[in-house]
Amino acid sequence: MSGRAQLMWDEAVTGYDFGSGHPMDPVRLALTRRLVDAFGLDREVDVVAAKAAGESTLRLVHREDYIDAVKAASADPGAADQSYGLGTMDDPAFAGMHEVSSLIAGQSVGAAEAVWRGEALHAVNFAGGLHHAMPGGASGFCIYNDASLAIARLLELGAERVAYVDVDVHHGDGVQAAFWEDPRVLTISLHEHPRTLFPQTGWPEETGADAAAGSAVNVALPAGTGDAGWLRAFHAIVPELIADFRPQVLVTQHGADTHFEDPLAHLAVSLDAQRAVQVACHDLAHEYADGRWVALGGGGYAVVDVVPRSWTHLVAIAAGRAVEPEATIPEAWRQEVFARTRQLAPARMTDGRWPVGWSAWEEGYDPADRLDQAVLAARRAVFPLRGLLA
């Protein structure tokens, strides 16, 4: 197995563009790639451009009629069929939509193949993590569900246990739906409570179909949760389940929209806590999955201040060349940010909260605390189904 990580990248992924004014501005991808280069991380990884996912691959998750609808909307955006979620406010149709969505999916599938075959120990596709797309429809800025496609490809290649951990602020509903009946896939999502955020799913009672009971895990966090609570919840749920499941591959989704500056959600997590969870996921992959780790991007709409820094940390951790939180951001990148966006770029790779403190679940909990109530609800819903103590 190669000790080097792969960074999946094709400049054409920046064509995933819903148009002016849409929150998912592709500049976030371009700026992340430039920041990776600014820190010299491109020399520490193998930069690979995988081919676009073909129709047979897309059909591992998506219905044929939906793929046909995406192709039709891609060729004629004005005729998009809204019954498939296309041409809506969240998912406007645009020319070439099928091609670039397939390309992003191909990067995640390529990452999964490289890790499974031992060509890379870790692989990162920060353009991916489009976790809301359903088998038969677009949703939440997501056309094809690259995360689900990567997992489905791992199963096709012979994997018997794949764990998916999603720390985006929004529930990983599309991935949960894709594997709702499949006990070979453990999906864990930590997200803002569905009462206060799209897609209004991800309740702790959602635990998988009868044949896969306990294979879906949902931690619904109260709005306003900050670093200490977010890390407490992660460590109270994820490591114990991963240790029990012992996946052959760990797939993680690192939406940066948990951040306190994100305009579309209501958690209060810092860049430093996001980095801490990235490190934890890396360590879990080594402890339980022989190091096989596929790391994806996701949401994140503070496109200058947050997303590039968060995902550059992710690439650095995967590369084994972690960037210190206190590191100064190269001036050339800050100048490029201003030239592209007319915004002032951050100066350091930290929000000033490193190291982030949190209290372990094993030290006890407060049944009157809203964060602890969320953790308890998830543990009580799932842990007994897996033979674990809640």
Q: Active-site residue numbers? A: 132
Helices (H), the chain: 27-38, 55-58, 64-75, 97-116, 146-156, 173-178, 227-245, 271-288, 307-319, 331-341, 370-382
Structure tokens at 106: 């191909």
SS3 of residue 25 by DSSP = coil
Cα-only R_g, the chain: 19
By C-alpha distance, which of 125, 80, 123 is closest to 98?
Answer: 80
Contacts of 123 (CB under 8 A, 6+ apart): 5, 6, 7, 8, 110, 111, 112, 114, 115, 293, 294, 295, 318
Q: Are 279 and 322 in contact (CB under 8 A)?
A: yes
55 contact partners, CB below 8 Å, separation of at least 6: 67
Both tokens assigned to 273: 């806590």
Tokens (6 digits) for 121: 């120990």
How many other C-beta atoms lie within 10 A of the C-beta of residue 134? 21
